[in-house]
Copies of this chain bind each other. A is one copy, B any other.
Amino acid sequence: MIEPAPQPVKTSRRSKKSASRTSSNGLPLPAPVTHAGGPSVGKAGLDAREMALWNWVNVQNLDAYLQEVYAYYVGKGIYTIALTRGLNLLTVGFVIFFSTFLLACIDYSSIHNHTSLSNVIIPQCISRFSGWTFLFFVAFGAFYAWQCVSYVYGIVRLVHMYRFYTHVLDVPDADIQTISWPAIVARISKIRESNALTAAALSSSMAGSKMVQKLDAHDIANRIMRQENYLIALFNKDLLNLSLPLSRLPLPSFLRNYSRTGAGTLTRALEWNLRFCVMEFFCDPSGHPRKVFLKERNRTVLIEGLKRRFIFMGIINAVFAPFIVLYLLMYSFFRYFEEYHKNPSSIGGRQYTPLAQWKFREFNELPHLFTRRMHQSYPFATEYISQFPSSKVAAIMRFVSFVAGAFAAVLLLATVINPDVFLGFEITPHRTVLFYLGLFGSVLAVSRGMVPDERTVFDPELLMRDVVEFTHYMPAEWQDQLHSKTIHTEFGKLYEMKITIFVQELVSVILTPFILWFSLPACAPAIIDFFREFTVHVDGLGYVCSFAVFDFKRHGNVNVSPTSVPCYLLLANR
């Protein structure tokens, strides 16, 4: 019944199959309603508003429904979401098609003898494909067709949400970009309170214990974040060994050191696998923790099960890795090449690593609030990072830019004086002035970008305090050390260069199967124990991660900075 929400919050994929069978509090429903395909025959007499209200009253899986409501809010309404998804599909198609054209349909060897594109295109290049390539394209075609179908199905769900927002919450589409989330939460709570009455009017059999439950900001946040809270706790407690067991291999020590920390290996790809292996295993299709995890006697079985999931996903990953790497490479080349060529200094841009984001995140903090917090911290983080230029690198780059600048100056002067003679003048065989001007220009842009502005005023401590104000992340050992190079290095690993993160993503796609095979199975007992120990039952909410109900005292080693504020209190801020 429930379509998975887009990016921000991941819900159970299988929930739609079984959600209609039981209500969220386990009671069998007297009137199971199928509203996936639009208004059913039995409700033909109701108008749009009553239909939407009927659907809301009959929600069986409240978690998934709220997550869908939230995703609709974050995605900024039906048109933006549909447009974004559609264009994403088109982008994938474009990348595959254009890559194929570039790689298979142009005769590069004959390009020197022709001056026009039409002469070097291979006619009917598709039909010349070999068997395997052809098979791959058939497979991709099937995948793409399935995506298109699921896009259309998603639109149907969006229409459903659109009606909920328009008719039940009274939020027209034009306002969805500017209304605040607390305002939406307030309206949901209000509707909920008046539900019993409405529900009674629509279907007399519905009034019951479920309707009595109130639904406030805290409850909604807890329901939306139920699974995310477990993941936040998992990463904060360092239960997952994401490093490669390279110590057995004869490797140079720096590689071994690198792999031991595992900082560079928590990538989006691995994160997705972890979500799938761990959270899908732990939660039932409705998104609630499965009760079987709470009994110690099931421990061995569960551990075995989790290990099998890791191994299985490793195989799946290994099969798809080459295609994903190829796709990522082509996509990134299309996306970034022109940008970096035009403005090479932008290559030094940074962002928080996925691991850093998990560490900065707080329990029950909704993704859009977390993102806002990160965005507020970026200007300070960037300035803080630039406060510690390596004086050695700066000295070398100053020399490099001087030498490149000297060559460029001579070539430029010649070109300015007499562009016609010089632009085609060959400096080395087959390489003209134009080529060298481009080359030195790029070298200059990069090297100058790495020479720090000499007028910078050094004051890292103040800047770090500004950063901490937004990241809420300040380990105890940073106290009184905010000015030091050590903190800078540590923070630099959390706020990494985009290009490094990209390379890590690429490498990770290849390494992920190995991590799934060799490192993670060993963590299975700890993970199973963690779920059992840190799950509590809250009335009206069901089982949730115990950290999320703010019983911090009990749990020692989770990093909670002194500046952190319960996040649901921040809900009012947007």
- B412, A337: Cβ atoms closer than 8 Å: yes
Q: How far is the CB of A471 from chain B (nearest CB, A)?
A: 14
Contacts of A87 in B (CB 8 A): 395-396, 398-399
Which of A90-98, A150-158, A199-207, A215-223 forms part of the interface with chain B?
A90-98
- A405, B339: Cβ atoms closer than 8 Å: yes
A391 within 8 A of B: yes
Q: Which of B83, B112, B440 contacts A421 (CB 8 A)?
A: B112
A338 to B483 Cα, complex, angstroms: 37
Contacts of A423 in B (CB 8 A): 434
- B432, A337: Cβ atoms closer than 8 Å: no
A335 to B111 Cα, complex, angstroms: 39
- A406, B178: Cβ atoms closer than 8 Å: no
Instruction: Say yes or no: A341-B412 contact (C-beta < 8 A), given A175-B485, A484-B175.
Output: yes
A180 to B406 Cα, complex, angstroms: 37
A250 within 8 A of B: no
Contacts of A77 in B (CB 8 A): 391
Q: How far is the CB of A345 from chain B (nearest CB, A)?
A: 13
Q: How far is the CB of A375 from chain B (nearest CB, A)?
A: 5
A21 within 8 A of B: no
- A372, B402: Cβ atoms closer than 8 Å: no
- B395, A338: Cβ atoms closer than 8 Å: no
- B438, A117: Cβ atoms closer than 8 Å: no
Copies in the complex: 3
- A424, B115: Cβ atoms closer than 8 Å: yes
Q: Which of B94, B117, B375 contacts A427 (CB 8 A)?
A: B117
Contacts of A341 in B (CB 8 A): 409, 412, 416
- A178, B117: Cβ atoms closer than 8 Å: no
A335 to B391 Cα, complex, angstroms: 20
A455 within 8 A of B: yes
Instruction: Say yes or no: A428-B117 contact (C-beta < 8 A), given A337-B409, A398-B87.
Output: yes
A22 within 8 A of B: no
Contacts of A488 in B (CB 8 A): 178
In chain A, positions 165-184 with a C-beta closer than 8 Å to chain B are: 174-175, 177-178, 180
In chain A, positions 377-434 with a C-beta closer than 8 Å to chain B are: 378, 388, 391-392, 395-396, 398-399, 402-403, 405-406, 408-410, 412-413, 416, 419-421, 423-430, 432, 434
Contacts of A338 in B (CB 8 A): 405, 408-409, 412, 440, 444
A458 within 8 A of B: yes
- B402, A419: Cβ atoms closer than 8 Å: no
A423 to B433 Cα, complex, angstroms: 14
Which are the 10 A-B pairs with shortest beta-carbon distances? A334-B406, A337-B409, A116-B426, A80-B391, A87-B399, A338-B408, A76-B391, A375-B455, A178-B485, A83-B395
Could you jot down 28 A-B contacts, CB within 8 Å? A77-B391, A80-B392, A80-B395, A83-B395, A87-B395, A87-B399, A91-B402, A95-B406, A115-B425, A116-B429, A117-B425, A175-B484, A178-B483, A178-B485, A334-B405, A334-B409, A335-B402, A335-B406, A337-B408, A337-B409, A375-B456, A375-B457, A416-B438, A419-B435, A419-B438, A420-B432, A420-B435, A423-B434
